[in-house]
Structure 1
Amino acid sequence: MNASGWYGGKTVVVSGASGYIAASLVERLAGVAAKVVRLSRRTLPPLDGCSDMTGDYADPEFWRRALLGADVVFHLAAQTSFYKAASDPDADFQANVLPMRALLEPCRRAARRPFIVFAGSVTQAGLPRRMPSDGSEQDEPITVYDLHKLLAEKLLEGYARQGLARGATLRLSNVYGPGPGSSSSDRGILNAMLARALRGERLSVYGTGEAVRDYLYIDDISAAFLAAGGGADALNGRRFVLGSGRGVSLLESFRLAAARVEAATGARVEVACVPEPPGLSPIESRKFTADASAFRAATGWSAKIPLEEGLDLTIAALRAAAGRAAAGRRPG
C-alpha cells in the first residue's frame, strides 16, 4: 500500500499517544500528511501536524468527540503488565476492556464509521500448541491481562460482525527498537537488555533460557498498522498475528544482544543463566514463533528489518540518547 497516497488528508485518531508504538506511528503519520488526533490521559508536548485531546478512555462521550470526522482509529491505549493485571484485575478491566466498549458505542450510533485497528497480543492465545502460530488455534488465555485483551478483541469482532462498527485486531509479538525522541530503554525485553549491556551490566536469563520469542522491529510494526488502516475491506472483523517468522530463544537473543554491544563498544558483556524468581508467570516460559502469512496476503506487508540489523539500530539510538543526556548535564 502507498501510505503517502492513501493517508494524505485522512483524519487518523491515535489513542495512547504517549506510548512507545503510538509515538512511532504518529511520527510515520506526520510524514504522510495525515491529520493526526492524539489521545492521551495527560497533556502532551505540542507536535506539529497534530491536534490533541485528553480525557477518560472509558467515557463514550470522550470518544464521540474524538471520532468526529475520523477515517481510522489506532487504538493503542492499554495497561500492558501481566503482573499489574493479576494484582488488580478491576483496574486492568477498566484500562483494557472498558475503553473498547466506550469506543464502539459512538461507532454504533454514527452514520460514518471509522476503521478501528486494535493492538492485541499474541499471548492472548495462551501457551502456543504449535509453531509457527497463525492465530487459528483456539484461544486459551492463562493470565488476567490476556483474558481482558481477548475480551476487548471479541467486542470489536462482535460489533463488526453485526455491522455496528468496522475494525480488526493485530496481535503483536515482541516489539523492540528505539522510539522517537527517547531511548525507549524501558520498553520490551530486548531494549532493556541492550540498555543494561551498554551500562556494562551482566545480562541475566531465567532458567535455561529455552523460552522462544519472535522479535519485531518498531518500524515494521508501524508499517503494519499503516497497512491495516488502509485495508479495511480485506481486514474487517478479523484478527491477525504479526511477527518476523523467526523464533529465537531468550538465551540466544541475550547472547546476540551482548555480541552486538561488544562489537559496537569493544566492551565485553557477560550473559548468565540464573534461577527463576518466585511468582514468575507461566506465560513467560512460552515458545512462540509467528506465522503472519494471513496478514501478508491481505495487505502485502512483511517484516523488513532482520534481528541483527534491528539490534544495531537500537544500540546506535541508545548510545546517541545517552550522549545527548550526558551533554545536557555538563556545565555550560
Structure 2
Amino acid sequence: MHALVVGGNGFIGSHLVDGLLARGQQVTILDIQERRWDAMPAAARFIRGDIGDPYLIREALIGVDVVYHLAWTTIHEIANRDPAADVQSNLAPAIRLIEACQGASNPRLVFISSGGTVYGPARQLPIPETHPRNPINAYGVSKLAVEKYLQMYNHISGLDYAVLRPSVPYGPRQNPLGRQGAINVFLHRVAHGLPVTIWGDGSVSRDFFYISDLVDALIACGEQPLGEERTFNIGGREEISLNRALVVVQRTVGRTAIIDSQPARRFDAPRIVLDTTLARQTLNWQPRVDFEEGVARTWDWIRATFP
C-alpha cells in the first residue's frame, strides 16, 4: 500500500509516517517544512511544498492508495481572530485536495477533524458521533465544513473517505514552546520554573490520549474496509481536568507549578469526553496507553530534547 501523508512532518504526521513505514508501507510526505525534532526517515519520499499547489498535489497523488490529510495552519485562538484567513488557508486547500483525489485513482481520503471542537458544549457525556455539531469557535466550524464536503463528494461521486474526530492527543514531538498542547506545555514550563496558565478554574476537562493510540486509529481507517459508518470518535480512557493533569505533571517532573490564573475563554467547551464505541467495534481500536504512562513517556522526550 502507498500512503500520502499531507502534513507528514508535524506532530501527528511524523508519528503516522513512522507507523506506516513500520508496517512496510510505501510513504510519500507532502509538507512545507522538514521534520523539526528528529531526522527524516530515509525510506519515505519527501515532497516539499504547499497543499494549495494543484500541480504538486497531482504529482504527489500518483500511485497513491490512501491519503491522510493532517495539515492545518491554525489553532483555536488564531482561527477566531481571523476566520476568513482560516477559511482561505485551511478549508479551501482541503476542498482542492478532495477534488484532486477524485481526479486521481480515487484513493481513500482520511481526514483529521476535531472531537474537541465540532460538537460544541456537550449535551450528553460521553459524546457519540451522532451528537449535534454546534462548534463555538472558527477552528471547529472549518473542520466541520471539511467533513460536510467529504460527505457531499461521497454522495455525488463515490469519494472513499474516513473522518477521525480525536479528543486531545499528546506525546513526543508536540511543541512544548507553543500555545497548543496542554500536557507538553505544562511539562516544559513546570520543569523550567515558568508560570503555567490556567484558564478559568481549571475544571475544563478532556479525554487526553497518547499519540501512538491516534496513529493506530489512523492506520486502521486507512487499511480496513468501511461501510456506511465513516466518522469515528477517538479519545482516551477517562475524563481528565486541567487541574488533575497538572497534578500528574508536577508529580512526574518532581516540581511544583507556578500558576498563572486567567479568565475562562468563551471558545473552550467546558467538558469534552468522547464515546469511542463505534471505533472499537468497527476499527477494532482501543486506547492502550494510560494517562500517567503517556505523561512519563512525554517527559522523557522533553527532558532529553529541552535540557
TM-score by structure 1 length? 0.85
Q: After alignment, is 34-43 or 310-319 more displaced? A: 34-43
1:243 counterpart residue number: 235
Provide the rounded CA distance (Å) in 1 between the counterparts of 2:43 and 2:209: 28
Provide the rounded CA distance (Å) in 1 between the counterparts of 2:280 and 2:271: 22
2:73 counterpart residue number: 79
Provide the rounded CA distance (Å) in 2 between the counterparts of 1:88 and 1:275: 22
Provide the rounded CA distance (Å) in 1 between the counterparts of 2:159 and 2:269: 36
Instruction: Give aligned-pair identity as a percent.
Output: 30
- Counterpart amino acid of 1:150? L
Unaligned runs of 5+ in 1: 1-9, 263-267, 324-332
- Counterpart amino acid of 2:262? P
Matched, 1:25 2:16: yes
Q: CA deviation at 1:87?
A: 1.9
Provide the rounded CA distance (Å) in 1 between the counterparts of 2:239 and 2:129: 16
Q: CA deviation at 1:271?
A: 5.5
- CA deviation map 1:109-144 (0-9, x unaligned): 34x211111010011111111111112111111111
SS for the counterpart of 2:67 is strand
Q: How many residues align?
A: 302
- What is the 5 A alignment of 1:141-180? 141-179=135-173
- What is the 5 A alignment of 1:48-67? 48-67=42-61
Provide the rounded CA distance (Å) in 2 between the counterparts of 1:97 and 1:161: 19
Matched, 1:209 2:233: no
- Counterpart amino acid of 2:291? L
2:186 counterpart residue number: 193
1:119 counterpart residue number: 112
Residue in structure 2 matching 1:294, options 254, 262, 278: 278
Provide the rounded CA distance (Å) in 1 between the counterparts of 2:268 and 2:46: 36
Residue in structure 2 matching 1:261, options 247, 253, 256: 253
- Assess if the C-alpha contact under 8 Å between 2:68 and 2:109 holds in 1: yes
- Assess if the C-alpha contact under 8 Å between 2:193 and 2:258 holds in 1: no
- CA deviation map 1:264-288 (0-9, x unaligned): xxxx313647231xxx642324201
- Assess if the C-alpha contact under 8 Å between 1:213 and 1:288 holds in 2: yes
TM-score by structure 2 length? 0.91
- Assess if the C-alpha contact under 8 Å between 1:197 and 1:258 holds in 2: yes
SS for the counterpart of 2:268 is helix
Provide the rounded CA distance (Å) in 1 between the counterparts of 2:90 and 2:78: 12
- What is the 5 A alignment of 1:275-314? 275-276=262-263, 281-314=265-298
Q: CA deviation at 1:294?
A: 0.4
Q: CA deviation at 1:46?
A: 4.9
Provide the rounded CA distance (Å) in 1 between the counterparts of 2:293 and 2:303: 15
- Counterpart amino acid of 2:244? E
Provide the rounded CA distance (Å) in 1 between the counterparts of 2:177 and 2:294: 14
Q: CA deviation at 1:206?
A: 2.4
Q: CA deviation at 1:244?
A: 1.2
Provide the rounded CA distance (Å) in 1 between the counterparts of 2:135 and 2:220: 27
- Assess if the C-alpha contact under 8 Å between 2:176 and 2:188 holds in 1: no
Matched, 1:40 2:40: no
- Greater helix share, structure number: 1
Provide the rounded CA distance (Å) in 2 between the counterparts of 1:232 and 1:162: 20
Provide the rounded CA distance (Å) in 1 between the counterparts of 2:295 and 2:50: 36
Q: Highest CA radius of gyration, 1 or 2?
A: 1
Q: CA deviation at 1:171?
A: 0.7
Q: CA deviation at 1:183?
A: 6.5
